[in-house]
Amino acid sequence: MARSSDSLPCMGRAPDLCARLLSLSSRPELSTHKSRAQDGRERKRDKMPEPITMIGLGTGVVALAWNLSRKYFDYAKEVFDIAAGLFATVLAAPVLLVCAILIKVSSRGPVFFTQQRVGRNGRIFGMLKLRTMYHNVEAKTGAVWAAKEDPRVVPVCRWMRRSHVDELPQLLNIIKGEMSLIGPRPERPEILAELRKRYPNIEDRLAVKPGITGLAQVRNGYDTTVEAFGHKLDADLEYIEHRKWSQEFSIIGRTFAKFNDQSAH
């Protein structure tokens, strides 16, 4: 018949060992230590914030950042432009490489060129573009408006103009602080002088940084005459008067539809 461990006989020195084991198992210090460890774990759990608290804190931080970005719109827009410009430059690098190869094998001249444009407060800066026209084509004619099926454009580069890929180098102008993602398109000094005669309030467009895209571009497309520029000017002034984040993101979204712009020449 089996016996319980308490009734097993202890032989030799075994009684002392059994007595020690029994005394250790009944020591109050061990049970107190276990109780303290359990209490410590419970206190640690109590100190951890509830998930709903963490969500509320995160929402509050986002709301604060949003309110500050609206209050200090110009500063926040500059930070956003530079960050977005750097990110977009990395994404656009493979496309620019393909364009560079096509330009080099299809016509003589550099891949990129710099064109003088009028920026904020009338400051002249060099705007970067992919060269889609034949090299030095304006040496005799000077600055002229682009036309439909413009013979100055290299045939293999027409898709770059329709998709506005030729404007991607201007991301570097954004990073340098000369341009913005969204804003009125900068005009050439020669053409701006011509437009001033017809539109005296054109100077109001120079109150903000020029952009790669803008309300006028997504609404009206290309302008090819002095008369058509009036619609562009109205849209630019409307944008400047009502600048806000919802409009910025709306223009960015609508710009993607312009990647197959049939009005581009």
38 band by pLDDT with thresholds 50, 70 and 90: low
* Residue 81 pLDDT: 96
Alpha-carbon gap, residue 255 to 164, rounded angstroms: 10
99 band by pLDDT with thresholds 50, 70 and 90: very high
Tell me how crowded residue 253 is: count the other CB atoms within 10 A of its CB: 10
153 band by pLDDT with thresholds 50, 70 and 90: confident
- Examine the pLDDT at 171 and tell me if it is beyond 70: yes
Lowest model confidence (mean pLDDT) among 69-73, 110-114, 141-145, 237-241 = 141-145
> Which of 189, 191, 260 lies closest to 225, judged by CA?
191
| Section 164-176 average pLDDT | 95
Angle at 212 between CA 209 and CA 214, to 5 degrees: 80
Q: Which amino acid does the sequence have at 248?
A: E
| Section 13-41 average pLDDT | 56
- Examine the pLDDT at 161 and tell me if it is beyond 80: yes
Q: Could you please report the per-residue DSSP string of 182-234?
A: ESPPPPPHHHHHHHHHH-GGGGGGGGS--EEE-HHHHHH----STTTHHHHHH
Which of 19-33, 38-52, 132-146 is predicted most confidently?
132-146
- What the block records as the tokens of 193 is 């002088």
Between the two ends of the chain, the Cα-to-Cα distance in Å is 105
- Examine the pLDDT at 58 and tell me if it is beyond 70: no
* Residue 228 pLDDT: 81
* Residue 4 pLDDT: 45
pTM: 0.71
Q: Which amino acid does the sequence have at 193?
A: A
Give the strand pairing for 180-182 and 124-130: unpaired
Residue ranges of the domains in the chain? 73-260
Quote the crossing angle between the two packed helices 229-241 and 189-198, to the nearest 10°: 90
Inter-residue contact 137 to 196 (CB < 8 Å): no
Q: What share of the chain in percent tops pLDDT 90?
A: 47
Greater pLDDT, 36 or 204: 204
pLDDT tens digits, one per residue of 101-138 = 999 999 899 999 999 999 999 999 999 999 998 887 77
Place of tokens 């509050």: 60
Please enumerate in sequence order all residues whose Cβ is within 8 A of that of 230, keeping only pairs 6 or more positions apart, or say none: 198, 199
pLDDT tens digits, one per residue of 225-262 = 778 889 899 999 999 999 999 999 999 999 988 776 65
Query: What own/partner pairs with CB < 8 Å and gap ≥ 24 does 81-85 have?
Result: 81/174, 81/180, 81/181, 82/174, 82/175, 82/177, 84/174, 84/181, 85/171, 85/172, 85/174, 85/175, 85/181
* Residue 44 pLDDT: 58
Distances (CA, A) of 2 to 5, 6, 7, 8: 9, 12, 10, 10
Greater pLDDT, 169 or 161: 169
Alpha-carbon gap, residue 33 to 189, rounded angstroms: 84
Inter-residue contact 188 to 210 (CB < 8 Å): no
Arithmetic mean of pLDDT over the chain = 81
Q: What is the CA radius of gyration of the chain?
A: 35
- What the block records as the tokens of 254 is 């609508």
Greater pLDDT, 42 or 219: 219
Greater pLDDT, 165 or 143: 165
Inter-residue contact 201 to 237 (CB < 8 Å): yes
